């Protein structure tokens, strides 16, 4: 299970903040309960989020595959 880390946010040094990282996504909040809810949702609905990521990867691949020599926009 992903750990929730307590830290001091440099922008708000008078409050404790909490964060949790799952894969490449990080959620932070001054309320531990919010971080716990986010983490639990990501864990319980892991199959749903995996499907969303796969759809996003497929749509991005399709977009770049549709580019021609004359409209070769890469987003960079």
Q: What is the pLDDT of residues 39-63, one digit of tens each?
A: 999 999 999 999 999 999 999 999 8
Q: Which residues contact 10 (CB under 8 A, 6 or more apart)?
A: none
pLDDT top residue among 5 and 1? 5
Using the predicted structure, report yes or no on whether residue 75 has a pLDDT greater than 70: no
What's the number of CA atoms in the CB half-sphere (13 Å) around residue 52? 6
**What would you measure as the largest C-alpha separation in the chain, in angstroms?**
54
Coil vs helix vs strand at 69: coil
- The answer to whether the predicted template modeling score (pTM) of the entire model surpasses 0.75 is yes
């Amino acid at each position: 299970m992903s750990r929730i880390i307590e830290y001091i946010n440099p922008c708000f040094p008078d409050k404790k903040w909490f964060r949790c990282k799952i894969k490449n996504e990080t959620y932070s909040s001054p309320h531990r309960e919010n971080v716990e809810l986010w983490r639990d949702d990501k864990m319980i609905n892991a199959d749903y989020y995996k499907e969303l990521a796969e759809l996003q990867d497929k749509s991005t691949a399709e977009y770049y595959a549709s580019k021609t020599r004359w409209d070769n926009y890469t987003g960079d």
